Amino acid sequence: MQEAMIQVKKELGLDAVILHSRRVHKGGLFGFFAKESFEIMAATDSPALSSSEAKAVTSTPRYSVDHPKEAALQLEIANMRKMLEKVLDKIPETTKSSSPFFDVLVKNDIDEQIAENLIKGLPEQYLTADSDAAIVRQLLTERVSNYFKKVDGITIPSRGPRLVALVGPTGVGKTTTIAKLAANFALKEGCKVALLTADTYRISAVEQLKTYADIIGVPIEIIYTPDELKSAIYRHSDKNLVLIDTAGRSPRNNYQLAELQAFLEIDPYIETHLVLSATTKYKDAVDIVQKFSVCSPQKFLFTKMDEASNLGTVFNLLYTFTTPSSYITTGQNVPDDIELANPVKMANMILRD
Ligand SMILES: Nc1nc2c(ncn2[C@@H]2O[C@H](COP(=O)(O)OP(=O)(O)OP(=O)(O)O)[C@@H](O)[C@H]2O)c(=O)[nH]1
Ligand SMILES: [Mg+2]
């Protein structure tokens, strides 16, 4: 045994680990006169593997007395398992670099993790760099457009008014969008529309909406308290659509948000749309969505599509949250620059080089 240990240390060094040792009898006749020997299986620690070095796996039994085939095989299997685990660990990176569409998505500000998930969801044969680009583009367009299909605009009920409030951060285009909606529903669809504004922080805000109301020819009321909102809704129960404008709120001001929440809670039938600018950074947009969740918005309404260099934020939000989008706005012109999102058109914009 001692002799074998000396041999192990000589061949594998002082760090060698003894995996297995046993006494064996070889040769002889009917168990008599057999020669006794020792079998030792030893291994050394393997250095960190990289996928390119994977074949240089160590931990193999460099030394074993009497070459026990079975044990060597077991070690070989263990090594192969280790190697496989290392290779599997590397798979996400491989996906990242192998599809040229990953770069296209990321260039369009799609979150890296989301881009990876979109590509990983493709059939396996299209995950390599030399896959047919036209087919991959087609498949990705379908996947991306599915998220844009969550479109849910304003519908007019057969009885009673639809109550719609727009909430969101400052300057995203709430008042302009209210004017666009009022003009489209009143003038193009012939609905009876009323405007209410709870934005009493700036005199100019009331004036802004009043000017639009006068041009479109719809009534407008200024609301100071949740009770006033309740009675105004009651007064306009003969309308088809009551649009409620609110003051822009900072997502960092909990007091302002609570105040807004108190207004909206006055009537459970108020359909709240969270207005988000497509030019907002994705991380900030997530923060806005989370902070405005106290107002329980049922829909996202995306503005300033014309100003955004890409639709990354819009897509990331629709991918991450189950909330559907109502409208997108594409410019400052009232009433024209508003539309329901076209999923394929949006997906093509996401996948443009
Ligand atoms: N480019 C572009 N500008 C827009 C769009 N929608 C609104 N705007 C402009 O954005 C600016 C702010 O619009 P408002 O409607 O006053 O925004 P708001 O959310 O009501 O602002 P606050 O009430 O102050 O919170 C105005 O100059 C609008 O003309 C859009 O879709 N595209
Ligand atoms: Mg406003």
The helix/strand count (H/E) of the chain reads as: 13, 11
Task: Quote the pLDDT of residue 68.
Answer: 57
Task: Round to whole Å and give the CA distance between 97 and 43.
Answer: 36
Residue with tokens 């620059």: 337
Point out the ligand 1 atom lying closest to the alpha carbon of residue 176: 15
Task: Round to whole Å and give the CA distance between 147 and 51.
Answer: 36
CA of 253 to the centre of ligand 1 (A): 21
Residue 296: left if φ>0, alpha if ψ -120 to 50, beta else—which one? left
Task: Round to whole Å and give the CA distance between 316 and 165.
Answer: 24
As for ligand 1, residues whose beta carbon falls within 6 Å of it are 170-176, 199, 205, 247-248, 303-304, 306-307, 329-332, 337
Reported pTM: 0.74
CA-closest candidate to residue 118, choices 320, 288, 253: 320
Task: Round to whole Å and give the CA distance between 295 and 133.
Answer: 44
3-state DSSP percent of the chain in helix, strand and coil, to 5: 45, 20, 35
Task: Quote the pLDDT of residue 284.
Answer: 97
CA-closest candidate to residue 111, choices 316, 331, 341: 316
Task: Quote the pLDDT of residue 91.
Answer: 55
Identify which of 172, 174, 176, 249 to mutate to test ligand 1's pocket (most ligand atoms within 8 A of the CB).
176
The closest residue, in CA terms, to atom 4 on ligand 1 is: 332
Point out the ligand 1 atom lying closest to the alpha carbon of residue 249: 25
Buried b (16+ CB within 10 A) or exposed e, 189-212: eebbbbbbbbbeeeeebbebbeeb
Q: Which domains does the chain have, with CATH numbers?
A: 2-89 (no CATH), 162-350 (3.40.50.300)
Strands 220-222 and 162-167 come out as: unpaired
pLDDT, block means (10 residues), the chain with 353 residues: 80 77 70 71 59 35 51 76 71 57 90 92 78 84 89 95 98 97 97 95 86 97 96 97 97 95 96 98 97 96 95 95 95 96 85 78
CB of 245 closer than 8 Å to CB of 166? yes
Task: Round to whole Å and give the CA distance between 89 and 172.
Answer: 43
CA-closest candidate to residue 166, choices 277, 253, 254: 277
The closest residue, in CA terms, to atom 21 on ligand 1 is: 171
> For residue 173, which ligand has an atom nearest its CA?
1
Identify which of 180, 325, 332, 339 to mutate to test ligand 1's pocket (most ligand atoms within 8 A of the CB).
332
Task: Round to whole Å and give the CA distance between 282 and 259.
Answer: 26
Residue with tokens 């770069």: 103
CA of 206 to the centre of ligand 2 (A): 8
Task: Quote the pLDDT of residue 52.
Answer: 38
Task: Round to whole Å and give the CA distance between 131 and 138.
Answer: 12
Task: Quote the pLDDT of residue 189.
Answer: 95
